[in-house]
Chain A
């Protein structure tokens, strides 16, 4: 596809379960970002990948959160032992290179922890 693709679009999970969220960036984009958006809130930075460099994980809220990017393309955000406060929309974005200003966002995954 032409844009950033995220799956699933919606996910309902029980408290304590693990979840995996997937992001397919735009082909050729070397930078990939994960953000979290809670109801009525702005975008909270989680993690940033740039090429083969070590990712910037400074925004991950706890060690229950992790992310990987395989082959410089698809990324998976994993949340272990989910809590109700993890309920939010998880947004992925990609950009052509580190210095560019335009990051293209996906539609997000709406996660609900019950």
Chain B
């Protein structure tokens, strides 16, 4: 079993839709949770991170972590074609070190 699990999709939505991307994890020691976005043939770039449980909002993006259920979510409001990319969730221990990534979800937003 992978430490961080993510549905690889692909996920296709119409422009303007609300997108929900989700991950689960197995190690309760994880404290930091991140979402990266990766465009085709590019390296991943950090979108958002949260520490422990809670919500974090940045523009059209909201990240949620529920440590009781070991569930990580990313919501994209008013999705745009430019949001079409692969979204990767990741987790890390409090003391630093390696990031553990999910498989990534490929998102396509159709005009």
Contact = CB atoms under 8 A, between A and B. Distances in A.
- Sorting the interface of chain B by its residue count into under 10, 10 to 19, 20 to 34 or 35 or more gives 20 to 34
B98 A48 contact: yes
Interface string A75-103: 00000000000000001010001111111
Interface string A1-45: 000100000000000000000000000000101010000111111
Contact of B49 (A33, A35, A44, A101): A101
Most B Cβ at <10 Å: residue of A31, A97, A105:
A105
26 contacts: A4-B43, A41-B103, A42-B88, A42-B101, A43-B44, A43-B99, A43-B101, A44-B101, A45-B99, A45-B100, A50-B97, A59-B98, A91-B43, A91-B44, A97-B96, A98-B97, A99-B95, A101-B32, A101-B49, A103-B46, A103-B99, A104-B46, A105-B45, A106-B43, A107-B41, A107-B43
Interface of B: 6, 8, 32, 34, 41-46, 49, 88, 90, 92, 95-104
